[in-house]
Structure 1
Amino acid sequence: MLRYVIKKLLSLAVSLTVASVVIFLALEVVPGDPAASMLGVNAQEDTLAALRDELGLNRGPLARYGDWVGGMLVGDFGTSYTYRTPVSEMIADRIWISLPLALLALTLSTLIAIPAGIWAASRRGSGVDLGVMGVTQLGVAIPNFWFAMLMVLVFAINLRWFSAGGFVGWEAGFWPAIHSLTLPAIALALPQASILTRVMRSALLDTLGEDFIRTARAKGLSRAQALWRHALRNALIPVLTIIGLQFSFLIAGAIIIENVFFLPGLGRLVFQSISARDLIVVESVVMLLVCAVIVVNFIVDITYAIVDPRLRRAR
């Protein structure tokens, strides 16, 4: 087990290194000059040159990459070109919106999907199964931003149960803050719950057809007992994969939802920084999100070995 964890840690380090190089090079080839974007089209050339020197844009790519990576290793993400504020402070302010939003959405998705998938699998071919599959197909087909706007129309404008957007801040209290994140979390969670429900059902049906389940039934266990005691744990492996990928998507891919609900999270920060050509913010936030994706996948791999002893022994 320790050897397996060490191998995964080495793989994680290589993945992070490759990701940092790709992100840096991708933003290097993006057309445009951050200094010109800051000063405007009528800026004098000597003024532009002075600003480039101040921002370090005239240094070579290798030196800038080294400064960027070295700074990130000690928690220094550089200084925003536009706001003249440390990027680490901007990220710290925004992550306490994006991270709770992703966790709340993932919790809602899991609480909905796993019982629904088990319910559908245990009643395969019945009206319940067909109904659950029909609803999940609709959930997969509907874009989450359209669903978000529909929820704003119904629950914010017509029923007035929630605000149409914005975030009250954690200083207003835990429940008011969670209330502000509820609609965005639901808009993010329901499409993901539809996917997870279908995976849960499919994995459970496949496991119920295995020989060890038939052996358990032959020993006198009912179908429900075999499902809960033996099938469910083995069916969780593909489900854990999807949950890990969903968390990565929810924390890194909520740009549209954060803009629909005017949430000042990391996604909205990336959108605003791209518009302002604030590349140091873009590359730092994207690298942080990529790091979150890679670390979550590492945790999922380790969880595999914990859930399924066969994988642990094989490795």
Structure 2
Amino acid sequence: MLAYLLKRLAIGLATLVVASIVVFAVLEILPGDPARLMLGMNATPDAVEALREQMGLNQPIVLRYLHWIGGLLTLDFGRSYTYSVPVIDLVSERLVVSLPLALLALILSTAIAIPVGIFSAERRGRAADAVTMGAAQLGVAIPNFWFALLLIYVFAVWLRLVPAGGFPGWSAGFWPAFKGLILPAVALALPQAAILARVTRSALLEVLNEDYIRTARAKGMPRKTVLWRHALRNAMIPVVTILGLQFAFLLAGTIIIENVFYLPGLGRLVFQAITQRDLIVVQSVVMLLVAAVIVVNLLVDISYAIVDPRLRIAR
């Protein structure tokens, strides 16, 4: 078990180093001068030179990379050119919106998808299976921003149960903040639940065709016991994989939803930084999101060892 975890940790660290090189290199290969790109073509030479000095562009590329990595390790992401504040302050303000949104969407997606996948697998080939998988296929095909607009019209405009957009902040109380996140979370969760439900059904059907399942049934074990005690746990590995990928997507891929609902999250911060050519913010936030994805994948690998005992004794 320890060797397995150390190996996965080493792979994660190596991936993080390679990702940092790629993210840093993107800024270097941009055509033109990054400082002039940020200031615009009408900027004076003195202003461009001052920003180049602030960004350290006059230093060799290796020193700039090492300085940037050292800043990331000490949570010094640099200073935003647009907002004139440290990037870590911007990230902290936005993370308290994006992280609860991603967690809420993941909880909703899991709560919907796994029961639907089990329900469909139990009724393979029946009308209920066709209806649920047809709905899942529809959920995969329709983009989440369309779901978002539909949810706004029904629950915010028509029924007026929740606000159509904006976020009051956690200082306003749990319930007002929760009401501001529930529609975006549902809009994010429904397409992901459709994918997860199909994966759960496929994985469960594959396990139900195994010899040990047929043996358990032949011994007279109740169908529900076979399903929940033996089949479901062995079918969870692909489900856990998709869950890890979905959380990474929900955390890093909320740009559209946060702009539809006007939420001050990381996705909207990246969008604003791109439109305002604030490359320091873009570079730092993208690297932070890459690190979050790698950490989530590491947690998924650890969960493999918990779900599958064979990994704990593998050499």
TM over 0.5, yes or no?
A: yes
Distance 2:49 2:103 in 1: 45
Mind listing any 5+ residue stretches in structure 1 that lack a counterpart? none
**TM-score under structure 1 length normalisation:** 0.97
Distance 2:224 2:138 in 1: 29
- Counterpart of 2:271? 271
Look up the equivalent residue of 2:100 and give its one-letter code: P
* TM-aligned CA deviation for residue 32 of structure 1: 4.9
* TM-aligned CA deviation for residue 221 of structure 1: 0.6
**What does 1:258-297 correspond to in 2, within 5 Å?**
258-297=258-297
- Counterpart of 2:93? 93
Distance 2:301 2:52 in 1: 44
Q: Given that residues 304 and 311 in structure 1 are in contact (C-alpha distance below 8 angstroms), is that contact kept between their aligned partners in structure 2?
A: yes
Look up the equivalent residue of 1:187 and give its one-letter code: A
* TM-aligned CA deviation for residue 314 of structure 1: 2.2
Q: Given that residues 102 and 185 in structure 1 are in contact (C-alpha distance below 8 angstroms), is that contact kept between their aligned partners in structure 2?
A: yes
Q: Given that residues 34 and 278 in structure 1 are in contact (C-alpha distance below 8 angstroms), is that contact kept between their aligned partners in structure 2?
A: no
Q: Given that residues 38 and 279 in structure 2 are in contact (C-alpha distance below 8 angstroms), is that contact kept between their aligned partners in structure 1?
A: no
Mind listing any 5+ residue stretches in structure 2 that lack a counterpart? none
- Counterpart of 1:78? 78
- Counterpart of 1:301? 301
Equivalent position SS for 1:51: helix
Distance 1:120 1:49 in 2: 63
Look up the equivalent residue of 2:66 and give its one-letter code: G
**TM-score under structure 2 length normalisation:** 0.97
* TM-aligned CA deviation for residue 311 of structure 1: 2.3
Relative to structure 1, the CA distance from residue 154 to residue 122 in structure 2 (aligned partners, 3 Å threshold; closer, same or farther) is same
Distance 2:212 2:224 in 1: 15
* TM-aligned CA deviation for residue 51 of structure 1: 2.8
Between 64-73 and 149-158, the greater mean CA deviation after superposition: 149-158
* TM-aligned CA deviation for residue 95 of structure 1: 0.4
- Counterpart of 1:154? 154
- Counterpart of 1:30? 30
Identity, in percent, stands at 65
Distance 2:204 2:38 in 1: 56
Distance 2:216 2:304 in 1: 23
* TM-aligned CA deviation for residue 101 of structure 1: 0.3
Q: Given that residues 99 and 251 in structure 1 are in contact (C-alpha distance below 8 angstroms), is that contact kept between their aligned partners in structure 2?
A: yes
- Counterpart of 2:122? 122
Equivalent position SS for 2:235: helix
Distance 1:117 1:29 in 2: 46
Equivalent position SS for 1:75: coil
- Counterpart of 1:6? 6
- 1:21-79 per-residue CA deviation (whole Å, 9 max, x = no partner) reads 00110122223545435544333212321232133232222222111100111111111
Q: Given that residues 38 and 82 in structure 1 are in contact (C-alpha distance below 8 angstroms), is that contact kept between their aligned partners in structure 2?
A: no
Distance 1:86 1:8 in 2: 33
Look up the equivalent residue of 1:25 and give its one-letter code: A
